[in-house]
Amino acid sequence: MSNQQFIEFSRPFIQAAKVVFETMVFTKIEPGKPSIKKDTMSRGDVSAVLGITGKFEKDGKAEDVKAMLVLSWPYDTYVKIANAMLMESFTEFNDAISDVGAEISNMILGNAKRDLRGLGYILDMSIPSTIGGPNHTINYPPGTTVVLIPIISAHGEFFMELCTK
């Protein structure tokens, strides 16, 4: 995938994240400067991981697509975001909020799919999963480049990672 194609692929995810956070978490987010991630270490304590497969069709040609969306939060930011979304007052990460990140990633991809379809992507997603614990690693699809996007919110910084092949 060319750099321009990757930028076009990424844009709907960022726009969808802005919509999801404004409507479901009641806060605006500000994406920072993207960078190429050189390792598999999560930048947060809790990560929502969503696998994506499908096709990219353009000019009568079709290519297989394998991608991944990862959202990673420090525990403190995750709890604040879960509290805002659920209108609760948890003080620490626990089972009651453990799936909030997976639900947010699911909503982001659901929102992004419409715009991605307009670009020629026909995508399916896996069931999102949550990985927790300091210094956990993410198993990206082999041969993919991972772009790391820091995101600032009123609840703290978190990270979006996108990779595709």
Mean pLDDT value of segment 60-87:
96
Are 163 and 145 in contact by the 8 Å Cβ rule? The answer is yes
Mean pLDDT value of segment 131-151:
92
Residue 76 DSSP code = H
For residue 7, pLDDT over 90 is answered with no
Would you tell me how many other CB atoms lie within 10 Å of the CB of residue 88? Answer: 12
Cα dist. 20→50, 77, 115, 146 in Å? 16, 16, 15, 22
Per-residue pLDDT reduced to its tens digit, 85-104: 999 999 999 999 999 999 99
pLDDT of residue 8: 86
Burial of 72 (0-12, 13-18, 19+ CB in 10 A): buried
What CATH number does residue 99 fall under? Answer: 3.40.1550.10
Per-residue pLDDT reduced to its tens digit, 10-52: 999 999 999 999 999 999 999 999 999 999 999 999 999 999 9
Structural domain boundaries enclosing 100: 3-164
CA separation for the pair 156, 165 (Å, rounded): 31
Q: Based on the structure, what is the number of domains in the chain?
A: 1
Among 3, 35, 7, 18, which Cα is nearest to 116's?
Answer: 7
CA separation for the pair 9, 13 (Å, rounded): 8
